[in-house]
Structure 1
Amino acid sequence: MTEGNNVTESDTKDPTAGDVPVEPVSAKEEKEENGEYKVVLAEKASPPAAEEVEFVHPEGGWGWVVMLASMWCNGSVFGIQNSFGLLFLSMLREFGSEHDPDLRFRTSWVGSLSMGMIFFCSPIVSIFTDIFGCRITAVGGAAVGLVGLLASSFVKSLNVMYFTYGVVFACGCSFAYQPSLVILGHYFKKRLGLVNGIVTAGSGIFTVTLPFILSQLLEKVGLQNTLRVFCILMFVLILAGFTYKPLLPAKPAETQTGFRLSRIFNMNIWKSVGYRIWAFGIPAALYGYYVPYVHLMSYVEERFGPDTNKEILLLCIGITSCLGRFIFGSVADFVKGSNKVFLQVLSFLIIGVMSMMIPLCNIFGGLIGVCLLMGLFDGCFICIMAPIAFELVGAKDVSQAIGFLLGLMSVPMVAGPPIAGFLRDKLGSYDMAFYLAGIPPIIGGIVLCLIPWVEARNRRKQKEGLSKEYDANQKMIELEKAQEDAKNKIGDSVL
């Protein structure tokens, strides 16, 4: 189904590009355009070969530099976001009072708003990426993120922090993050799953290292100076954005107004039933996804005491998440078709169960085991998102497909942690918050199970339809030949 969409788009740009007799799809497009162009198509058979050469992915070269730059982007953006649990504790002491009953609820909004805005801006980012390209979008976004983080270091009020950290910094991260995924499709195709695994492992590596650095910085220099140190990561991110050299040729400028509008609002992605299920199933699973990253540190202090080495939990999540991205990213290259979706279903089920297990861990070692498994399947969920998007909608529509998906993910990412903080403030314990946080991933995983069935049914219907169209087209060609032969015979007899 998605391959047909790609062919249709290219045929719209150049009607002469459809004469490929090997594939039934080209025969269908010939009939829709008009049989009178048969001679023109035969004369211009060479351009498709040239276009195919231009779109050959190098599978390396400068692409390895781009991969490292994208890896830094994922690490700096989500490493900071995933370490918010430590910033959360520092903000509780910096901006609040121990006697404030709603303190955790209001403070958790900073982190959840920041994570949510990264995804909320994604549809807009995808439009900017399509129009201005990956390089300009990424560099501009990193610069905005630097300004927001630097401004947050001078803030003395929690309400202002909502804007500087939760909105400005997060929007900049969003504009820097999404092009780092799209640009990989310019350089890699066969190795895309593995490369995505390496790139997304950047956040795992940063999640492993940042908590220890962050706890030392917060203790010695305070919250404001720690945020200023983080500005170095964003400055390097600006430099990384300059490496995003595009390879795929831009769409022609002499297009019609309707096509320009389709570049801004690409509706082709919503024609895929599988993508529609995926785009609503994943957000349904994410209402509890970010809760442990925000509240786990505070929960450990309450349950096991403030002197507990709580940073080890983020270390466990980061290590196994990094390992999971390498493992499942490699698997995604060799396991074809809808099996990638089954991997994502499995990851949601495990994450949901592990979240429910957190309150049941009476010893700290049990909590370490839970975090190890949670991190492993978190890596699975993250690294195969882009390959599934490429598979469901095709390479030409993937930018907005990823953008709209991340935009839909923003609502649950924002809502989950404040709800958990509210439950903690009202019930006096995090237990119910973690129990409830495990339910949405399980429900979302069940919904995603529909995608392989829908995609298989659509492929079967498409194959049957194309076969019938091809047979009808062949009969029409034979009929036209017979009529022409009859006319020639009549002409010869008259002569």
Structure 2
Amino acid sequence: MTEGNNIPEGDAVRKEEVPTETPAEDNLPEGEKGEKGDSKVSVPEQTESPGAEQVDFVHPEGGWGWVVMLAAMWCNGSVFGIQNAFGILFLSLLKEFGSEDDEDLRFRTAWVGSLSMGMIFFCSPIVSVFTDILGCRITAVGGAAVGLVGLLASSFVKSLGPMYFTYGIVFACGCSFAYQPSLVILGHYFNKRLGLVNGIVTAGSSIFTITLPIVLSGLLKNVGLQYTMRILCILMFVLMLAGLTYKPLLLVKSRNTQTGSLCPPMSQLFNINIWRSLGYRIWAFGVPAALYGYFVPYVHLMKHVEERFGQDASKEVLLMCIGITSGVGRLIFGRVADYVHGVNKVYLQVASFLVIGVMSMMIPLCNIFGGLIAVCLLMGLFDGCFICIMAPIAFELVGAKDVSQAIGFLLGLMSVPMTVGPPIAGFLRDRLGSYDVAFYLAGIPPIFGGAVLCLIPWLEARRKKGEKEELSKEQDATQKMIEHEKTKGDTHSKNGESVV
């Protein structure tokens, strides 16, 4: 049975086979039909039967949608809250599985968090396909269940090797499958308020990033790493329940009409049209290029603070600062983006990458804890800018029709730099004895990526200018043809008059 359809498949087939009489209203003139026969259906069927009439869908703009919004907010918070707080778990992993004789300890331990974050993005294109086929509810609940199993299995692990699989792959894949449907389902319930709802939902990660570091520090100190992970499983269990609220409303074509299979046509699954845009190709290269150092502070900043300022330093405050200003940045720059027209929104992302890069380089230069707080506040503010501006830029580059896959492919490409950055930083720390060089190098990719993105507005303006010139030439040619035909017609009419 297709999700969200109240009619069993067998009944649906029988309904298609039995001919139905045409209602009397259908025989009325068009004007009378509009007055007497109009009826709006707020929840259309999810599967489309041949010959079925299309009805205008009306977004509820509330109602059960508020429950869905809260569920999506929990999803965003629990998934990325745990990921952003990995720096706290990183310290515990070093103590739990490390030894003083291991020269590559930080390098190997950083792979746990890097794999986890990278897999969330790597699975994004795949998750979009599953969401199209199975629906938001099944995909989200199944993903949360897989994440729960991965996190629970991680609590029984006694070495780093299995942790790569249980936490870095299984848990992360489950999070990815739970996360993406939470964004898709919002479009079923909201249209006019979608911007506001998206802002509230994405603020969930900021709230969890603020609170989880303190909670995790207390749990790790009192009950240890294994029991802390088991307690975190509660978040994933609640996430499973949250996924059950994703009742689909919009029409979803779940079958291939040509073959009758559940899988949509390949042209729908993998849209190559988005790659024809030069601006999108540059964006899809520039953003991942900028992210090689992006996740480094989230993983290694806690250990750097411990080495620089001692174990008693309130290192959790730094993650709280990033979380607070990231939420503020999403609200501020999301609103600012509404006043920036066209692809010029890219300049906001350029500014965010430049600031993040410079702030990463400033981390080793901070010899007082207050300086680090200021750096983290600025970094979080522009991190919020980078995140909230991604969807609007995608809309400008490829249009609303292709934006879903455009974002999905971009997230997939982002998985590589998000994965390899922190282990490289850990390797440099193991070899050089400090994190200074690692943070200096982490600031270079964002600056480089931001410089590359500066090309997009110029290229898009050039493309539009060329299109206008082509259109102008076509209009001139058409005008000349019309004038030529008119001249010929006048000549024929004059010849006819002279003959008479």
- Alpha-carbon separation, structure 2, partners of 1:393 and 1:280: 15
User: Which moved further from structure 2: 244-253 or 430-439?
Assistant: 244-253
- Alpha-carbon separation, structure 2, partners of 1:397 and 1:477: 37
Q: How does 1:148-159 map to 2 (within 5 A)?
A: 148-159=150-161
Residues 352-380 of structure 1, C-alpha deviation per residue, up to 9 Å, x if partnerless?
00000000001000000000000111111
The alpha carbon displacement at 1:168 in A equals: 0.2
The alpha carbon displacement at 1:281 in A equals: 0.6
The alpha carbon displacement at 1:108 in A equals: 0.7
Of 234, 242, 245, which aligns to 1:243?
245
Q: How does 1:44-83 map to 2 (within 5 A)?
A: 54=56, 59-83=61-85
Is the alpha carbon distance of 1:354 and 1:461 closer, same or farther for their aligned partners in structure 2, counting shifts above 3 Å?
same
User: Which moved further from structure 2: 131-140 or 104-113?
Assistant: 131-140
The alpha carbon displacement at 1:79 in A equals: 0.3
SS in 1 for 2:300: helix
Residues 221-243 of structure 1, C-alpha deviation per residue, up to 9 Å, x if partnerless?
11111111111111111222233
1:366 aligns with 2:384: no
The alpha carbon displacement at 1:268 in A equals: 1.7
How many equivalent residue pairs?
439
The answer to whether the Cα contact below 8 Å between 1:193 and 1:332 also exists between their aligned partners in 2 is no
1:269 aligns with 2:274: yes
Indicate the residue corresponding to 1:163 in structure 2: 165
Q: How does 1:344-359 map to 2 (within 5 A)?
A: 344-359=349-364
- Alpha-carbon separation, structure 2, partners of 1:224 and 1:424: 27
Q: How does 1:370-409 map to 2 (within 5 A)?
A: 370-409=375-414
Of 132, 135, 138, which aligns to 2:134?
132
The answer to whether the Cα contact below 8 Å between 1:295 and 1:417 also exists between their aligned partners in 2 is yes
AA paired with 1:169?
A: F
- Alpha-carbon separation, structure 1, partners of 2:379 and 2:256: 50
Is the alpha carbon distance of 1:264 and 1:372 closer, same or farther for their aligned partners in structure 2, counting shifts above 3 Å?
same
Is the alpha carbon distance of 1:482 and 1:335 closer, same or farther for their aligned partners in structure 2, counting shifts above 3 Å?
same
- Alpha-carbon separation, structure 2, partners of 1:354 and 1:62: 42
Is the alpha carbon distance of 1:324 and 1:82 closer, same or farther for their aligned partners in structure 2, counting shifts above 3 Å?
same
The alpha carbon displacement at 1:382 in A equals: 1.0
Q: Give the structure-2-normalised TM-score.
A: 0.81
Q: What RMSD, in angstroms, separates the aligned Cα atoms of the two structures?
A: 3.1
The answer to whether the Cα contact below 8 Å between 1:194 and 1:332 also exists between their aligned partners in 2 is no
AA paired with 2:95?
A: R
Q: Give the structure-1-normalised TM-score.
A: 0.82
- Alpha-carbon separation, structure 1, partners of 2:232 and 2:454: 40
Of 106, 109, 124, which aligns to 1:107?
109
Using the aligned pairs only, state the percent identity. 81
- Alpha-carbon separation, structure 2, partners of 1:352 and 1:60: 40
SS in 1 for 2:338: helix
The alpha carbon displacement at 1:341 in A equals: 1.4
- Alpha-carbon separation, structure 2, partners of 1:469 and 1:148: 60
- Alpha-carbon separation, structure 1, partners of 2:377 and 2:418: 22
- Alpha-carbon separation, structure 2, partners of 1:130 and 1:116: 23
The alpha carbon displacement at 1:56 in A equals: 5.8
Indicate the residue corresponding to 1:11 in structure 2: none
Structure 2: which 5+ residue stretches go unaligned?
1-33, 35-39, 41-52, 489-500
Indicate the residue corresponding to 1:117 in structure 2: 119
The answer to whether the Cα contact below 8 Å between 1:181 and 1:386 also exists between their aligned partners in 2 is no
Structure 1: which 5+ residue stretches go unaligned?
1-45, 484-495
Is the alpha carbon distance of 1:477 and 1:193 closer, same or farther for their aligned partners in structure 2, counting shifts above 3 Å?
farther
Indicate the residue corresponding to 1:16 in structure 2: none
1:453 aligns with 2:455: no
The alpha carbon displacement at 1:396 in A equals: 2.9
Larger radius of gyration: 2
1:339 aligns with 2:341: no
